[in-house]
Amino acid sequence: MGLPLDHKPRPITWPASTRSLPHREVERGSFLPPLQALKLMTETLMDPAELASRIHNGDKRAEAELFSRYKNGVRQIIWRITGNDSRAEELTQETLIVVLRRLRAGSLDDPTRLPAYLAQTARNLAIAENRKERRRQTDTDSEALEDIPDSAVSHDRALHLNSAANIVRHLLNEFRPERDRHVLIRHYLHDEDKESICREWGINESTFHVILFRARKRFLELLTKRGINRTDLFSFVLVL
């Protein structure tokens, strides 16, 4: 999926209905570009410097691309630090808004390093949030807070868990040969090291990697087939 060095992205042709759709930015919370009308093709991704330049010039589509392209990765980074899904969602929006403002102002020193800047901003905000949370917990009755059930999260989580289990069940049923199913279980469930799995099953490293690659690819295909948004799946897998 890599782009050749001399790749020039084709201009993105947006459906006419999207051109006049407004989008609004709120002080804290969600930035709502017309994502439902967008279909971003990976082969037309702009390089970071061009993306930054277009945003600085007021290109709203480039701003939408900033969100759609980096949201998943930024949320992954923040979740690993905070361990809290709803906070991760909130801080992801905040990170992207902070970076968007810098890009609009043209104050990013080196636009080619946009991904590194995003990663660092995400990390800083997550660490700051963790510190705030620790201070909050010393000031309040944290046990009382923990006793309050979040029924909305539990319900969504149960649904997503069910989806993941069904997808994996389907995947295991069709995975051949049987050896490969055992390799998946030893790796993902038992967390065994690659070398011992290879040795015990008489496979080399390359075969091991191919088995995992097939499983990941099929998992994503089944996800899409079931109409599950990949970003929805992200929300619960990390809390397990």
Partner 1 sequence: MSRLEPDDETTGWTAERYAAGHMSEQEERDFEVAMLESPALADQVNAAQGLRAGLRELQTRGALSSLMGRTRFPVWHAALAAAAVLLVIGAGVLFFGRHPQLPGPRVMASSVAQLSDAARVVTASFIVAHTRSQTGPISLTLTRHPGAIDLKILPQAADTGGDYQVTLASTDPITSIVPVELHVRPDPAGFIHAYLDPTVLAAGDYRITVIQGPHTEQFPIRVSFPQSLPTRP
Where do contacts with partner 1 occur on this chain (CB under 8 A)? 1-2, 42, 45, 48, 69-70, 72-74, 76-77, 80, 115-116, 118-119, 123, 161-162, 164-169, 171-173, 176, 178-179, 181-182, 184-185, 187-189, 191, 194-195, 199-202, 206, 209-210, 212-213, 215-217, 219-220, 223, 230, 233-234, 236-238, 240
- Assess contact for 235 and 160: CB atoms under 8 A: yes
Output 32 or 172, the one with its CB closest to partner 1: 172
Of 12, 3, 101, 100, residue with least CA distance to 43: 3
The angle subtended at Cα 32 by Cα 109 and Cα 97, nearest 5°, is 25
Output 45 or 153, the one with its CB closest to partner 1: 45
CB of 195 to partner 1, least distance (A): 7
- If you search the block for the tokens 């800047």, which residue do you land on? 117
Please report, in angstroms and rounded to a whole number, the separation of the first and last CA atoms in the chain.
30
CB of 20 to partner 1, least distance (A): 28
Output 8 or 24, the one with its CB closest to partner 1: 8
Of 111, 113, 37, 103, residue with least CA distance to 68: 37
Gap between the Cα atoms of 114 and 118, Å rounded: 6
CB of 181 to partner 1, least distance (A): 6
CB of 71 to partner 1, least distance (A): 9
Output 27 or 178, the one with its CB closest to partner 1: 178
User: Quick check: helix, strand or coil at residue 24?
Assistant: strand
